[in-house]
Amino acid sequence: MSGSVSSAWLQTAAFAAAVDANLDRWLGDTYRLGLTEFRALTLLSQQPDKELRITALAQRVGLTSTSTTRLVSRLETKGHARRDVCDDDGRGVYAVIDEPGETLLREVRPAYDARVRDLLTDPAKHFPHLDPRAVASALEEVSALVEP
């Protein structure tokens, strides 16, 4: 391992942030959907019952519960998801993906996957401010720490 762990993480985080910013812009321009909205819909669609408690969704998308409630409200306004109250205790609130949200995901996912693949395989084209070799080295260094 050539550099410090903090340097490798900084490089990895900068690359991830650049990829996320590009994806967010692209999703917004192409599908009028934010990256966090896409991730939330994806997480909901992967659940057997197509729902998650707001608190669990917040943890998985990396937002506070308050921000996630606003996120679900935006998805409700767009007709992609809705809120539902927990039958067990009446206090827990769930986010539930609706059929229009699943339809949108089926439409977006192939193009999204292709976009991610393009960003990762040709970073110099999309992120000229980042050195692809340094990014690859940082990813390897971080990966070596994470591997079981």
Q: Which two tokens stand for residue 74?
A: 């935006």
For the chain, give the mean pLDDT.
93
Amino acid occupying residue 140: E
pTM: 0.89
Q: In terms of residue numbers, what domain contains 105?
A: 5-146
DSSP annotation of 69 reads H
What CATH number corresponds to the domain at position 9? 1.10.10.10
Indicate the number of domains in the chain: 1
- Of the pLDDT bands very low, low, confident and very high (cuts 50, 70, 90), residue 1 is very low
pLDDT tens for 96-112 read 999 999 999 999 999 99
Tell me the residue ranges of DSSP E strands in the chain: 51-53, 81-85, 93-97
At residue 110, the pLDDT reads: 98
Q: pLDDT by residue (tens digit) across 29-51?
A: 999 999 999 999 999 999 999 99
Averaged pLDDT for residues 88-95:
77
